[in-house]
Amino acid sequence: MAFLLPPRQLSYTDAERSIGFELEYASVDIPTVARIVQRVFGGEIIEESSFSWKVEHPRLGHFSIEIDTSILKEKQYIKPLRALGLELSELESPVVEHSLLSVFSLLAPFAFTTPPLPLREAARVEELRAQLRSAGAAGTGASLCYAFGLHLNVEVASFDVKYLLNILRAFIILYPELMERERIDSTRKITHYINPFSRGFVRLIINPQYRPTMASFVRDYLRWNPSRNRPLDMLPIFALHHGEQIRSDGQDARLIKARPAFHYRLPNCSVDAPEWRIAHAWNNWVLIERLAERQEDLDDLGERYLAAMEDERLEHLWEQHLSDNVGRRLSP
């Protein structure tokens, strides 16, 4: 499956746009994945700790492989275990660290994260996905305990408020169709990681008459979304230039990584499924970008959605209309 190109291929710096990928998985240890990364992309393997390794690439940057829990990464386990009488030298021994890793790997996913990859090199992650599957990686549907996601960090083409708003507006309008296309696993629906936007916020955003300044857009977003746990998280973008506003709103700045990228958190990470492809999730993102560029269609669909939200029967018909027409409207 090919990776489609978005309508805007240059970033806000006029360089080629980039995409970062984060895959959550289980059942393959950190050293094995580091070696897979090295085979696919090259680079030097660096063991930072038992819980976090990197592969440093001279051109692309660093790839990280880690257990996705701050208890281990930040060594938060040391204080309570010292209270039980264990010495620091014992707690930092490889035996203790590997024992902790064995236990926590049953509860928390491993996370593999790429640096921002240029658009035209993004397809290389499919080779890595294939090798992860061959190594025995378990994905979203492998257990009722898993709610693993594939995250895309898509570099913005502009910081213009209309552009950012239109991307969010297009995502919200297409959300029912994206849920269907991605076949979001029930474990991810019942956890809090991708809580949907509230109906009040949806009404605000999709209304064609909503034309905020950047400051009011950030303020409205924070008022309705006091969390990064949304299927499309805008906080990393806002944190770049409005960090103080976010901190004053009570957001935990430690959890928000400021970067010039949309944080698209919706897709499953079904890395063990033979038919699953990262390109599928990316190409669904391209649908969002295509709609965002078509102001007339965006306004028309926004008005239709607003009308449908007033009647449950119409809302069902709206979703069917969207499913029947999205391909025609958004074909290149």
20-66 pLDDT, tens per residue? Answer: 999 999 999 999 999 999 999 999 999 988 888 999 999 999 999 99
Judged against a pLDDT cut of 50, whether residue 72 lies above it is answered with no
Q: pLDDT value at position 225?
A: 94
Using pLDDT thresholds of 50, 70 and 90, give the confidence band for residue 243. Answer: confident
**DSSP element (H, E) containing 188:** helix 186-190
Flag whether 86 is in a domain.
no
Among left, alpha and beta (phi > 0; psi -120 to 50; other), residue 129 is alpha
Judged against a pLDDT cut of 80, whether residue 173 lies above it is answered with yes
Contact 211, 295 (CB under 8 A): no
From CA 283, how far away is CA 250, in angstroms rounded?
A: 35
Contact 156, 237 (CB under 8 A): yes
From CA 318, how far away is CA 176, in angstroms rounded?
A: 10
120: amino acid identity, one letter: R
Flag whether 72 is in a domain.
no
Domain extent at residue 225: 150-330
What pLDDT digit, counting tens, does each position of 76-102 carry?
445 555 544 555 454 455 655 665 655
From CA 139, how far away is CA 24, in angstroms rounded?
A: 7
Judged against a pLDDT cut of 90, whether residue 2 lies above it is answered with yes
Flag whether 286 is in a domain.
yes
Using pLDDT thresholds of 50, 70 and 90, give the confidence band for residue 150. Answer: very high
Q: pLDDT value at position 310?
A: 87
What pLDDT digit, counting tens, does each position of 27-36 carry?
999 999 999 9
Flag whether 58 is in a domain.
no
Share the mean pLDDT of the chain.
88
Q: pLDDT value at position 88?
A: 46
Phi and psi (nearest 5°) for 323? -60, -40
Q: Radius of gyration of the chain from Cα atoms?
A: 21
Q: How many separate domains does the chain show?
A: 1
